[in-house]
Chain A
């Protein structure tokens, strides 16, 4: 990607029952000047959509809960249709920091990188309140992804990332659930997209820990990724 004078940055927030934290996340994004915010309410039973509408941001709603992967796909497709140059994926539970966005955008704008991946484990990253079990499963996820995709990253399941328009057009998220994070890395490898890891700060909140992945889910994710890989093969 060539250097852009004024890139259109879109922030895509997939959300499922996030009324407690969403308003604060949107407010922080807006106060930092990000006005192209796309909220994808993934069939929430609470007032998630209403918060998006009240805050005058792009609000899309899935009639039924499909999963974070599907919500991201919808959000990315919408952002592309609105002419986005760079798409940021940002969690609604408040664990990501708005101050990390410029760090993710910089390699795309200045070095023409296709994808910037946020990492909580590379040098310079900060992780607050991460439970031991979560850290262990994330580390196992890294080994798993290295075997499956052959891509060497320090954090495979970080929802904070920036995609150039080219990358967003090429990456096809077909897995609806949380397995999309591994799938994105697989797509990066498949399409030979350039990527960098950027150290980010992750703050685990009560909400993010409550909605986190269980051990059983980790196995489900691994199974889905393996099945998809076999079907593609």
Chain B
């Protein structure tokens, strides 16, 4: 096992343990826990049996197994980025609506004398 494999296995194990702890403290949702477990298992499998990536490289038509892992990781990160952006936009909309409704509810309406209006 080379140094890179060791790092991958270590990161995978750390992620697996920390995701379980975070879930037990209710810091993450069930679906996010599943994503983290899935990611850490991939790290552990690829770290322990790197030759498995050759299968993907053949299926995808990419030269080396390691390249296939890098390309798949980029695609995964890209989709995660889109997902996070969509979530942020949704939260921004909710916050805007909340702040605006609050502003409308608490509008200060002046008391006025009767004057000629335009």
Contact = CB atoms under 8 A, between A and B. Distances in A.
A56 B104 contact: no
A61 B115 CA distance: 26
B107 interface: yes
B107 A58 contact: yes
B92 interface: yes
Interface residues of B, number: 20
Contacts of B92: 176
Nearest to B100: A74
B104 A77 contact: yes
B109 A64 contact: no
A57 interface: yes
A61 B106 contact: yes
A56 B112 contact: yes
Interface of B: 92-93, 95-96, 99-100, 102-104, 106-112, 115-118
A144 interface: no
Interface residues of A, number: 29
Most buried by A among B92, B100, B116: B100
B104 A35 contact: no
A56 B93 CA distance: 31
A63 B118 contact: no
B118 A33 contact: yes
20 contacts: A32-B118, A33-B116, A34-B118, A35-B112, A40-B103, A52-B108, A56-B110, A56-B111, A56-B112, A58-B108, A58-B110, A59-B108, A60-B104, A61-B106, A62-B100, A62-B103, A66-B96, A66-B99, A77-B100, A81-B104
Interface in A28-74: 32-36, 40, 52-53, 56-64, 66, 70, 73-74
